[in-house]
Amino acid sequence: MNQNLQALIFDVDGTLADTERQGHRVAFNQAFAANHLDWHWSEDLYGDLLQVAGGKERIRYYLREFQGPLQTELQNSQRLDSFVAQLHQAKTAKYQQLLAEGSIPLRPGVQRLIQSARSQGIKLAIATTSAVPNVMALLEQSLDPGWFAAIAAGDVVAQKKPAPDIYHYVLDQLNLLPQNCLVIEDSQQGLQAATQAGLTTIITVNRYTQNQDFTSAALVLNHLGEPDQPCSVLSGKSQKINYLTVEDLAKLL
Ligand code: XBP
Ligand code: MG
């Protein structure tokens, strides 16, 4: 096998699990209701809001674009920052409840590929925009945080994806060069962030990201695949993949 592959770096939301539609979106709506706000983020609206990475940043964007008078009032009374922080904290608690109920399973092939990489001595890492408690809760629920040599999440960098900062950060933590690592992402923003950090990237699309531009990805799949649940190659060099293996990945470097 190609010994250049030393680490796999995973995005979380939309990549490890389909967290956005039935996880984060639902948690945002529950937090709005608990805070007596008559806001509702439908599946379609949430698809548009996903252009803004980060939960706090998404609330700020929504206030600016859809709740102008309230935003002005909060800004004038210097309550905007605390309003966003408190609402996001409520949303984080709701999201963790959803995870604890087991309502957000891993995507096909994630557990298999991670186990296989571990058994071959390939390091694992996380690079996500999501808040640290949300990432830890998902890993504790479905994988094991101890398997990951680096977990880079949330506000640890100033600029969130599509800026490359989180990938520079995780490479620093791993003490590895980009040419020895592969990234698995689900979105155009994630691809842009990883590519700008010099990383080869594999995309597994989901409902929200399937029509995005993934021209610079090494491989685009509908999911990672399982022996009894083959994946489809949507674009890329390797056309004959039933389920993505570490050997397939190593050939992409
Ligand atoms: C993930 C996100 C996050 C989640 C919510 O992007 O954009 O904002 O929707 O996370 P990526 P928090 O998968 O590209 O890292 O509410 O925890 O910020
Ligand atoms: Mg993602």
Q: How far is residue 139's CA from residue 79's CA, in Å, rounded to a whole number?
A: 34
Beta-carbon contacts of 201 under 8 Å, excluding residues fewer than 6 positions away, are 182, 183, 184, 185, 190, 191, 194, 195, 216, 217, 218
Residue 237 has pLDDT above 90, yes or no: no
3-class state of residue 198 by DSSP? coil
For residues 174-201, average pLDDT: 98
Identify the residue whose tokens are 């949430």: 46
For residues 119-147, average pLDDT: 96
Q: How far is residue 46's CA from residue 58's CA, in Å, rounded to a whole number?
A: 10
Mean pLDDT of the chain: 96
DSSP 46-59: HHHHTTS-SHHHHH
For residues 141-163, average pLDDT: 95
Confidence of residue 125 (pLDDT cuts 50, 70, 90): very high
Ligand 1 contact, 18 CB (< 6 A) = no
Structure confidence by residue, pLDDT tens digits, 212-226: 999 999 999 999 999
Q: What is the sign of the dihedral through the CA atoms of 161, 20, 23 and 29?
A: positive
Please identify every residue whose CB atom is under 5 Å from ligand 2, which is an ion: 11, 13-14, 186-187
Q: Which atom of ligand 1 is nearest to the CA of 128?
A: 15
Q: Are 50 and 207 in contact (CB under 8 A)?
A: no
Q: Are 153 and 135 in contact (CB under 8 A)?
A: yes
For residues 112-126, average pLDDT: 98
What is the length of the chain?
A: 253
Looking from the CA of 178 toward its CB, the CA atoms found within 13 Å total: 14
Structure confidence by residue, pLDDT tens digits, 48-74: 999 999 999 999 999 999 999 999 999
Ligand 1 contact, 11 CB (< 6 A) = yes
Report which DSSP code applies to 157: S
Residue 2 has pLDDT above 60, yes or no: no
Whole-number pLDDT of residue 17 = 96
Looking from the CA of 112 toward its CB, the CA atoms found within 13 Å total: 14
For residues 86-104, average pLDDT: 94
User: Quick one: which of 191, 197, 192, 163 has its CA closest to 178?
Assistant: 197
Q: Is residue 95 packed enough to be buried (19+ CB in 10 Å), middle (13-18) or exposed (0-12)?
A: buried
Structure confidence by residue, pLDDT tens digits, 4-45: 999 999 999 999 999 999 899 999 999 999 999 999 999 999
Exposure class string for 177-198: b at 16+ Cβ within 10 A, else e? ebebbbbbbbbbbbbbbbbbbe
Strand partners for 57: none
Whole-number pLDDT of residue 1 = 54
Ligand 1 contact, 24 CB (< 6 A) = yes
Query: Of the residues 9, 12, 13, which should be mutated to test ligand 1's pocket, given the most ligand atoms within 8 Å of the CB?
Result: 13
